[in-house]
Structure 1
Amino acid sequence: MPTLTVIIASTRPGRAGTPVARWVVDRAEAHGGFDVRVADLAEINLPLLDEPNHPRLRRYEHEHTRAWSALVDASDAFVIVTPEYNHGYPAPLKNALDYLHAEWAHKAVGLVSYGAVAGGVRSVQALKPVLQYLKMIPAGEGVIIPFVARHIVDGALQPTPALEQSATAMLDELRRLEATLRPLR
């Protein structure tokens, strides 16, 4: 079974990303098409890029980079759970992406964004060119959660039927994309 890694992009205390990611993980496990893992960038805690060699060379000097490389390399597809900060995505996500190169290539990625009125869509639009440069294939289906705070009750995301449908569509597409891209890896 392919491995799907859910990346929690926000590292802020009190972040909405944790309950959103828990919901995504639950949906992905119920979907049944993946072995699901979580990569919480707050726990991984990568320093600002500190490798002297270009990531394309894969000559990593630091254990944190080797561990991050192994996690990403072992993943077949991803879901990135990201907020929108000032019309963009969080710096820890950019840093985590920049640490590696070949490990990302030819892997499908679903995007779950959250925020206020726009639901994080500007974050997704800023992120897509970076993902495409890394040879990742963003799913056309995604999940957008506007006014995310209204959906979090007692620390858990309370999804609407539309959010549930969006998640199912994204996971279905990720499964198809992953299978299509597998021979390229």
Structure 2
Amino acid sequence: MNIPIILGTGRVARESEKVARFVLTRTSKQGLDSPFIDVNDFATPVTVSSWEDHELVTKWQEVVTTADGFILVVPEYNHSYPGELKILLDKAKDEYQGKPIGVVAVSSGGLGGARVVESLLPVWNTLGLHHVNQPVYVSHVKELFDDNGEIAPEKESDLTLRVDKLIEEVKNYIAI
């Protein structure tokens, strides 16, 4: 199964990257083909729509077309998602139809990105993506990982359990 891990923020020194890399280790342990997709690799200086002839549009549409499903790791910024993620998602449309997306929502606060999930639901519905019902909420991300991206040992088993459950949900949806 091809399940890309999408890092949905382009910020410098982004804490979400540590979480995304952790998710990548979990999909790798399950033998999945999970390319690491960085929103920065598809950034354009202006918004480029899915119908426009542009190298990065074509590149993103190829990623989406070949994927069986997705896992998105996304931080909550001001009760919503990063603008660069919206620009990325808008580079495709029909290619998403019927594919599952699982989300790992990240926050430096105590809600674990719950509001970012709520704000993404209408976008996914419009694009034809199927949101799996087991989001992973990561609260206090700065306390979870050290500066080198290593997870605190006392927190690893809990996050592993929740991420593995999300991966299973995405795989189960693909198998339908």
Fold-level similarity (TM above 0.5): yes
2: CA distance, partners of 1:144 / 1:40: 20
Match of 1:119 in 2: 112
Runs of 4+ in structure 1 off by over 4 angstroms are none
Match of 1:42 in 2: 40
Aligned residues: 172
2: CA distance, partners of 1:176 / 1:155: 33
Check if 1:109 corresponds to 2:101: yes
2: CA distance, partners of 1:46 / 1:78: 22
TM-score by length of 1: 0.88
CA RMSD of aligned residues (A): 1.4
AA aligned opposite 2:98:
H
**Among 133, 143, 149, which residue is 1:140 paired with?**
133
AA aligned opposite 1:118:
L
AA aligned opposite 2:84:
P
1:36 is paired with a residue whose SS is coil
In structure 2, runs of 5+ residues without a counterpart are none
AA aligned opposite 2:78:
N
In structure 1, runs of 5+ residues without a counterpart are 181-185
Match of 2:169 in 1: 173
Question: Do 1:6 and 1:25's aligned partners in 2 also have CA atoms closer than 8 Å?
Answer: yes
Match of 1:93 in 2: 85
Q: State the 1:78 CA deviation.
A: 0.4
Deviations 1:19-77 (A, max 9, x none): 11110000111123x211111012322343234xxx3xxx4311111111111111111
1:110 is paired with a residue whose SS is strand
Match of 2:146 in 1: 153
Question: Do 1:31 and 1:168's aligned partners in 2 also have CA atoms closer than 8 Å?
Answer: no
TM-score by length of 2: 0.92
Question: Do 2:43 and 2:88's aligned partners in 1 also have CA atoms closer than 8 Å?
Answer: no
Q: 1:18 to 1:69 in 2, by over 3 A?
A: same
Identity over the aligned pairs, expressed in percent? 28
Match of 1:183 in 2: none
Check if 1:60 corresponds to 2:52: yes
Higher share in strand: 1
